[in-house]
Amino acid sequence: MVDVPDIVIGRLPIYLRELTRLAEEENQTTTSSHELGQRLGISSAQIRKDLSHFGEFGKQGTGYHINYLIEQLREILHLTQEWPVALIGAGYLGHALAHYDGFKPRGFVITCVFDNDPRKIGENLNGLVVSDIHDMESIIQEKNIKIAILATPANTAQEITDRLVKAGVKAILNYAPIHLNVPPDVQVSYSDPVVQLQRMTYYLTP
Amino acid sequence: MVDVPDIVIGRLPIYLRELTRLAEEENQTTTSSHELGQRLGISSAQIRKDLSHFGEFGKQGTGYHINYLIEQLREILHLTQEWPVALIGAGYLGHALAHYDGFKPRGFVITCVFDNDPRKIGENLNGLVVSDIHDMESIIQEKNIKIAILATPANTAQEITDRLVKAGVKAILNYAPIHLNVPPDVQVSYSDPVVQLQRMTYYLTP
DNA sequence: AATTATTTGTGAAAAGTTACACGAATCACT
DNA sequence: AGTGATTCGTGTAACTTTTCACAAATAATT
């Protein structure tokens, strides 16, 4: 279990999401690697191989008990605790993230919001008061926050990242359209809509 | 040039983004695969291999002329035209996307916005009037739109996707937390912040 | 009880991706 | 003009990831 490829880890949240759907919307208690793969456009063999890195969760002839597999995946992904998250940036995107109701049921709670714009500081954002970015480090350390969502313009992103890392943050979800330099023990995940659109236009005929 | 791996295509927009930065912010006219790789955390050999799928853009001893390489990448990715984009969903996320000023300079223009909520229809969203989703197909076909951004709740996403595909859309950027089923000639790109966070928590010690 | 149909977990093969390393071209400097 | 330093493009090797295919276990059916 020591050295599971990151590409495998990246699929586990997608399995978890679809399993939750199967349980909640289709009211199923059991599924198979074949059914899950069908629904996700992934081969059944890949799903079985992925899961086999962590143990034996299925039963020949039957498949997987959905609630049990959900529980196992939540443990593997360290989702048995709720993770507090710092949100940096209270612009339109910050608003959208602060109001998103999909975080809580899947393990995350936005706990504080920061901005450097005096007009935004003090604003109430879905129950959270926007704090001065000057206080970012102290609040993050006080609340022992390890995850941040970066929703600022590109020109401040690296500078804020450096401050987040110094404050002890170990995972950053970056919405700014820029590559971030971080130490090897800090995770970064990127979300630049234009990069995603440009990848797709390659396949389109102009 | 016929069969370039998708994983290579996915890196080209990142090269393009960093090259633009080098040109605009660092005022450089020339760079090397080594410098570009350093800045992006990618090996120089990989950058050269990636580019070699499409031609020979560099010069031994010198490297790459940035503006020329940008132009070539824009042609490869079909970014010499501006792409009109339909935005589905005028909630908080729709607002954020409609106000994002990063689309235009990188090749995309949100041209129409749809929602099914009567309170939102008619609303002015950064210069765009929100249309009734009932009119989605006719407007998309009339404007010959091939790209859509899906910013709706999960429970309507597949149904709207089916309608988009019927209307001729060939690329969908999906923010709803759900896998979409589409025909093989339609591209889908996913952006679910929770999936990205969950991938990172695997590496965090709880 | 025996037979047939499912389905898992996995070793081995196949396919895909990345890194290495080097010839060749170019540039900078003496 | 010659020497040394850069840098590209690329064939090959190393590594990673996916697919295949099958024994073993279970369930359903006769």
The nucleotide whose C1' lies nearest the CA of A63 is C7
The tokens of A59 are what?
Answer: 């039963």
Distance B192 CA to D8 C1' (A): 39
Residues of chain A found within 8 Å of residue B13, distances taken between Cβ atoms: 194-195, 198-199
**Interatomic separation, CA of residue A32 and C1' of nucleotide C5, rounded (Å):** 15
Average pLDDT, chain B: 97
Looking at the fold, whether A67 and A87 belong to one and the same domain comes out as no
What was the pLDDT predicted at B206? 81
> Is residue A89 located within the same domain as residue A29?
no
Q: What is the rounded CA–CA span in Å between residue B104 and residue B92?
A: 20
- Please state at what angle helix B66-76 crosses helix B6-24, rounded to 10 degrees: 140
Confidence of residue A206 (pLDDT cuts 50, 70, 90): confident
Q: Which two tokens stand for residue A192?
A: 């630049």
Q: What is the pLDDT of residues B29-74, one digit of tens each?
A: 999 999 999 999 999 999 999 999 999 999 999 999 999 999 999 9
Do A49 and A103 lie in one domain? The reply is: no
Determine if strand D comes within 7 Å of the CB of B58.
yes
Q: Are residues A94 and A166 in the same domain?
A: yes
Nucleotides of C under 7 A from a protein CB: 5-11, 16-21, 23-27
Query: Measured between CB atoms, which of B95, B189, B193 is closest to A199?
Result: B189
Does residue B16 form part of some domain? yes
Q: Identify whether residues B20 and B61 lie together within a single domain.
A: yes
Instruction: Count the neighbouring beta carbons within 10 Å of the beta carbon of residue A198.
Output: 26
The answer as to whether A137 is a domain residue is yes
**What's the mean pLDDT in B165-189?**
98
From A202-206, B93-97, B163-167, the region with the lowest mean pLDDT: A202-206
pLDDT of residue A50: 98
Does residue A48 sit in the same domain as residue A97? Answer: no
The confidence score (pLDDT) of residue B60 equals 95
The reply to whether A46 falls in a domain is yes
Q: Which 21-50 positions of A have CB less than 7 A from strand D?
A: 42-43, 45-46, 48-49
Domain boundary among A56, A76, A96: A76
Do B104 and B173 lie in a common domain? yes
Q: Is residue B166 part of a domain?
A: yes
Is residue B139's pLDDT more than 70?
yes
Q: Which residue among A59, A76, A93 closes a domain?
A: A76
Same domain as A175, residue A93: yes
Task: Report the first-to-last Cα separation within chain A, whole angstroms.
Answer: 47
Looking at chain B, the whole-number percentage of residues with pLDDT higher than 90 is: 99
B57, B93: one domain: no
User: Contact B9/A193, CB-based, under 8 Å?
Assistant: no
Across the interface, whether the CB atoms of A77 and B201 are under 8 A apart is answered: yes
User: Which amino acid is located at B27 in the chain?
Assistant: N
Listed residues A76, A101, A125: the one ending a domain: A76
Q: 3-class DSSP state for residue B182?
A: coil
Beta strands in chain B (DSSP E): 30-31, 58-59, 63-65, 83-88, 108-115, 124-125, 128-132, 147-150, 171-174, 187-190
In this prediction, residues A186-194 reach a mean pLDDT of 98
- What pLDDT score does A2 carry? 60
Full DSSP string of chain A: -----HHHHHHHHHHHHHHHHHHHTS--SEE-HHHHHHHHT--HHHHHHHHHTT---EETTTEEEHHHHHHHHHHHTT-SSPEEEEEE--SHHHHHHHH-TTSGGGTEEEEEEEES-TTTTT-EETTEEEEEGGGHHHHHHHTT--EEEE-S-HHHHHHHHHHHHHTT--EEEE-SSS-----TTSEEEE--HHHHHHHHHTTS--
Q: Is the CB atom of residue A38 positioned under 7 angstroms from any atom of strand C?
A: no
Q: What is the pLDDT of residues A128-167, one digit of tens each?
A: 999 999 999 999 999 999 999 999 999 999 999 999 999 9
Looking at the structure, tell me whether residues B57 and B127 fall in a common domain.
no
CATH number at residue A29: 1.10.10.10
Distance CA A170, CA A147 (A): 6
Cross-chain residue pair A9–B202, CB shorter than 8 Å = yes
Q: Is the CB of B49 under 7 A from strand D?
A: yes
* Nearest chain A alpha carbon to B22: A178
Same domain? A89 vs A68: no
Verify whether the Cβ–Cβ distance A92 to B95 is below 8 Å.
yes
Tell me, yes or no, whether B202 lies in a domain.
Answer: no
> How many domains would you assign to chain B?
2
C1' (C20) to CA (A63) span, angstroms: 44
pLDDT grade for B2, boundaries at 50, 70 and 90: low
DSSP letter at B135 equals G
Domain span at residue A109 reads 83-195
User: What average pLDDT is seen over chain A?
Assistant: 97
Q: Are A130 and A65 within one domain?
A: no
The CATH code of the domain that includes B150 is 3.40.50.720
B16 to chain A: closest CA residue = A195
Q: What is the pLDDT of residues A3-30, one digit of tens each?
A: 999 999 999 999 999 999 999 999 999 9
Chain A residues 41 to 60 with C-beta below 7 Å from nucleic strand C: 44-45, 48-49, 51-52, 56-60
In percent, the amount of chain A with pLDDT more than 70 equals 99
